[in-house]
Structure 1
């Protein structure tokens, strides 16, 4: 089952690369194997030309990679999501211009999206009048510290669909590749709309 999911993820990585959403080998993607393991893209690989051989097995509990190869820098964020959300089976981390710029323009800890029909592309959203909160965390080169802050946040506030890292990009997830991809594309559209709204307000 996870092997098939990995194949679908590789195709999605090519789609992400073609859109320019993971430039200069940036970004990282993963699939859950089971409760213990996930498969994460190797550091320094061009996401537009990944193959299944460019993914390595990583322990969800402690981020270790039995192969000795180097997983992506944000490994700790992927494994955190798998620990926090047992239903999550795919994680996508991208460096889109819209997500990166908007995360800096919004100075609060939450980006509130409201009034967009495309909010309904996000799982569980059925009304454009709802307010969709997207958490924003200050970027940190210490991924363990960043993961700890995100985990603390998730203990008291809902963390759905994805989150922004300020000046860095977007991390989102889903129960399968199709859901993760849909939510990535939906959020990216919403971010672009919000940037344009602020520009012309």
Structure 2
């Protein structure tokens, strides 16, 4: 499937695999193809060794897959983000240890990051003094139900960079693959810092 950003997405996926952020074929990635369709990783593929043939064309409005092949089980979350935010062109979903553990350690409905210089890796952030809020949604094997909760949240509070699914992992995105990759790297660094801070400050 030809797309000008696909080589950059494949490079990002291979890099993610090297980081160990999508073990055991976990995670899923996507790219907006046009106004009506997106490319989503096929189910069960190792993200560190993806090829262009591992991305399936999916109808954004209906989640229909014209090829009849099976995309990621979480395709509905990708198509939701594309419907909500026309400026988003790439989505990365990872299962890192830091994101997974921190989403369980934090008991509230959002992780608030403040005081870190690396917050400036996120689009629009200009200072460590600001607060960055990453929503946390309860995990659910019913992806339609989970997508419904994300959509309901977004009706009142715009999702900026991504969100966590408790005990599951991180979804993040960008206006280009490069921005999505920068957001992922920045958030992973922030998650690791925050987890270390909580461990060191624990009584």
TM-score, length of structure 2 as denominator length:
0.97
Q: CA deviation at 1:4?
A: 1.6
- Tell me the secondary structure at the aligned position of residue 124 of structure 1: coil
Uncovered stretches (5+) of structure 1, i.e. residues with no partner: none
State the alpha-carbon separation in 1 of the partners of residues 185 and 73 from structure 2: 23
Q: CA deviation at 1:40?
A: 0.5
CA-to-aligned-CA distance 1:9-33 (integer Å, 9 cap, x gap): 0111000001100000000000001
- Tell me the secondary structure at the aligned position of residue 3 of structure 1: coil
State the alpha-carbon separation in 1 of the partners of residues 62 and 109 from structure 2: 28
Uncovered stretches (5+) of structure 2, i.e. residues with no partner: none
Q: Report matched runs for 1:161-172 at 5 Å.
A: 161-172=161-172
Residue 124 of structure 2 is aligned to residue 120 of structure 1 = no
Which residue of 2 is the match for residue 76 of structure 1?
76
Q: CA deviation at 1:7?
A: 1.4
Q: CA deviation at 1:128?
A: 0.3
Which residue of 1 is the match for residue 34 of structure 2?
34
User: What value does the CA root-mean-square deviation take over the aligned residues?
Assistant: 0.7
- Tell me the secondary structure at the aligned position of residue 65 of structure 1: coil
Which residue of 1 is the match for residue 90 of structure 2?
90
Q: CA deviation at 1:158?
A: 2.6
State the alpha-carbon separation in 1 of the partners of residues 78 and 22 from structure 2: 16
CA-to-aligned-CA distance 1:149-180 (integer Å, 9 cap, x gap): 00000001131100000000000000111000
State the alpha-carbon separation in 2 of the partners of residues 140 and 62 from structure 1: 20
Q: Report matched runs for 1:6-45 at 5 Å.
A: 6-45=6-45
TM-score, length of structure 1 as denominator length:
0.98
Q: CA deviation at 1:35?
A: 1.2
State the alpha-carbon separation in 2 of the partners of residues 137 and 144 from structure 1: 13
Residue 135 of structure 2 is aligned to residue 131 of structure 1 = no
State the alpha-carbon separation in 2 of the partners of residues 145 and 102 from structure 1: 23
Count residues in correspondence.
Answer: 200
